[in-house]
């Protein structure tokens, strides 16, 4: 584990052209980290292209005030990626999560730098800046920018990093939040991040359909193992009838966890070609081990998996059965 930003800071200083990317279905942490680093690199007069596999979800578009985030298209971006001196991979340590961008990046002769806070990094990068104790990639990027810039971060970077940390900590309430997290966000506010505006952008811009989708999902919430496991299921039909998208289910895992006595919560989301599963747990329940049984992974208390070409009912049954040993030891 390399938590010292010195080496990556010098890579950012030394090189001229950069490609920044993050995982499929990007979140506030991946996008905020990209924007904060982009802002610093542009201020130094360097070439920066942000290329993501997925489009930016609507709620995070406010971060991209330069409108610079591009959606990967191999016919356009193959050259950009092969010609860059450095590719920064943010908020994932597994190139499979870059989907079809993986090959373009791995074939590029660019220096590959991975900045991330997840467990079990894959051996694909030339340089790693990793801290699996960090609340977010945004927190790691904060220390990197402090190393580069000192005390004064730009308002744009402060906003992006505040959003990264706020979203990855569930608004400052997940277990890894500590006094240091609050000192960092206090400094980001001093640098110009507006907590009220950022919260409203991310959490108070739901469509009516999204609230209706949550209503349908909550109506079907179910518990098992004496109330210690709760799960929610979202079907294609529920998305269709409310006019919503998969990204509208972000953070729905909060709701099973709010039931008294629940130690773990699972969200099953029916995709076009399989099932996306989000896992949450409290305390010592290692829910990432359950995710691993289904080809996924993550943190002890938050993990995910995707299962392709199996139907929802079969996946639900297998996952709920397999959960038993973690819930009721
Ligand atoms: Mn993250």
Confidence of residue 1 (pLDDT cuts 50, 70, 90): low
Å from CA of 91 to ligand 1 middle: 5
Q: What is the arithmetic mean of pLDDT over 298-312? A: 92
Confidence of residue 250 (pLDDT cuts 50, 70, 90): confident
pLDDT at 120: 87
Q: What is the arithmetic mean of pLDDT over 305-317? A: 95
* pLDDT > 60? residue 219: yes
- In this prediction the pTM is 0.87
Q: What is the arithmetic mean of pLDDT over 30-43? A: 98
Q: Could you tell me the residue ranges of all domains in the chain?
A: 6-203, 208-327
> Is 6-203 in CATH node 3.40.50.2300?
no
Q: Residue ranges of the alpha helices (H) in the chain?
A: 6-14, 28-43, 74-83, 101-107, 137-149, 155-168, 179-190, 195-203, 208-219, 236-242, 254-257, 287-293, 312-327
Å from CA of 275 to ligand 1 middle: 22
Residues with CB under 5 A from ligand 1 (ion): 29, 91, 136-137, 168
Q: How far apart are CA 140 and CA 144, in angstroms?
A: 6
> Is 208-327 in CATH node 3.40.50.300?
no
Å from CA of 274 to ligand 1 middle: 24
Q: What is the arithmetic mean of pLDDT over 256-275? A: 96
């Amino acid at each position: 584990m390399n938590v010292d930003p010195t080496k990556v800071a010098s890579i950012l200083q030394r090189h001229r052209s950069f490609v920044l990317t993050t995982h499929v279905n990007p979140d506030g942490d991946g996008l905020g980290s990209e924007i904060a680093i982009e802002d610093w690199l542009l201020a130094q007069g360097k070439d920066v292209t942000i290329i993501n596999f997925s489009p930016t979800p609507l709620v995070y578009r406010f971060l991209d005030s330069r409108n610079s985030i591009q959606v990967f298209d191999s016919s356009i971006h193959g050259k950009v990626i092969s010609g860059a001196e450095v590719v920064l991979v943010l908020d994932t340590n597994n190139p499979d999560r870059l989907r079809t961008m993986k090959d373009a990046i791995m074939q590029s002769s660019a220096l590959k730098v991975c900045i991330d806070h997840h467990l079990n990094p894959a051996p694909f990068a030339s340089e790693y800046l990793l801290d699996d104790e960090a609340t977010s990639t945004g927190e790691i990027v904060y220390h990197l920018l402090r190393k580069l810039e000192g005390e004064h971060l730009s308002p744009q970077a402060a906003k992006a990093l505040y959003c990264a940390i706020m979203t990855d900590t569930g608004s400052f309430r997940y277990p890894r939040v500590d006094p240091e997290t609050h000192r960092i966000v206090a400094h980001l506010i001093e640098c110009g991040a507006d907590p009220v505006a950022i919260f409203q952008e991310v959490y108070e811009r739901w469509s009516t359909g999204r609230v209706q989708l949550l209503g349908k999902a909550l109506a079907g919430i179910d518990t098992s193992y004496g109330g210690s496991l709760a799960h929610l299921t979202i079907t294609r039909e529920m998305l269709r009838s409310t006019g919503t998208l998969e990204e509208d289910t972000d953070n729905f895992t909060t709701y099973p966890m709010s039931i008294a006595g629940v130690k773990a919560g699972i969200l099953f989301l029916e995709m076009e070609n399989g099932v996306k599963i989000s896992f949450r747990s409290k305390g010592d329940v290692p829910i990432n081990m359950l995710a691993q049984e289904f080809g996924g992974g993550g943190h002890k208390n938050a993990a995910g998996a995707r299962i392709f070409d199996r139907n929802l009912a079969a996946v639900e049954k297998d996952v709920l059965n397999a959960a038993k040993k973690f819930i009721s030891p």
